[in-house]
Amino acid sequence: MKAHSVRPTDTTRVDLLLIAEMVTPGSRVLDIGCGDGTLLRILAEKHGVDGRGIELSQAGVNSCVAQGLAVIQGDADDDLAYYPDLAFDYAILSQTIQATYSPRLVLEQLLRIGKRAVVSFPNFGHWRVRTQLMFGGHMPRTDNLPERWYDTPNIHLCTIKDFLNLCDDVGAKVERAIALNAYGTKLVAMPLFAQNLFGEQAVFLLSR
């Protein structure tokens, strides 16, 4: 079993650092559900991308605009249809697909408007999740899934295997698929069942 760290910092989500590694410098990028703009800022500073963002919360939009980032208020479920085909080199959806009403439609839109799509999400197949369900008999709470079931924005949680099946359904080509454990370490040279069991989150680079 091999593992490689992506060197997380105290203030930056590890999946964002991994996503940044996947993006070619100088690319056109749309970050959907961009939050406070952390990823857009990293991509602009380190890779010189032409970045745009969509964020549902007004507080997030305000934070991004205050940093000089090109972000508008919008909803992944409703607003991606307005973008033309292949408008961006990368369409990114980080830790958001599980909170959308129509994950399949959103993924299809990402693949339509971007030459590549990057998606990260918490893995509901992680062993801690399974253990809490089996022995605790309640909806699990982990570092990546901290909210109680009645407070969470997550409505379509999935496992790594589930997401791979969705990629097959929409005809997406998986260029890279990386599972990360609870310490932000890449799980490589492991079979799928092991990544699905020990990966706390996953990052996928997709294309048509």
- What is the mean pLDDT for each group of 10 consecutive residues in the chain (208 residues)? 38 86 98 97 97 97 97 97 98 97 98 98 96 94 90 94 98 97 91 96 97
Residue 164 has which token pair?
């791979």
DSSP state of 183: T
Q: Could you give all domains of the chain from N- to C-terminal order, each with its CATH number? A: 2-207 (3.40.50.150)
Residue 37's pLDDT is: 97
Is-contact 117 93, C-beta < 8 A? yes
7-46 burial, b if ≥16 CB within 10 A, otherwise e? ebeeeebbbbbbbbebbeeebbbbbbbbbbbbbbbbbbee
Q: From the CA atom positions of the chain, what is the Rg in Å?
A: 16
Output the CA–CA distances (angstroms, integers) from residue 202 to 59, 128, 171, 205, in the order listed.
Answer: 27, 15, 19, 10
pTM of the model: 0.90
Residue 6's pLDDT is: 38
Instruction: Please give the angle made by the CA atoms of 53, 159 and 199, to the nearest 5 degrees.
Output: 90
Residue 189's pLDDT is: 86
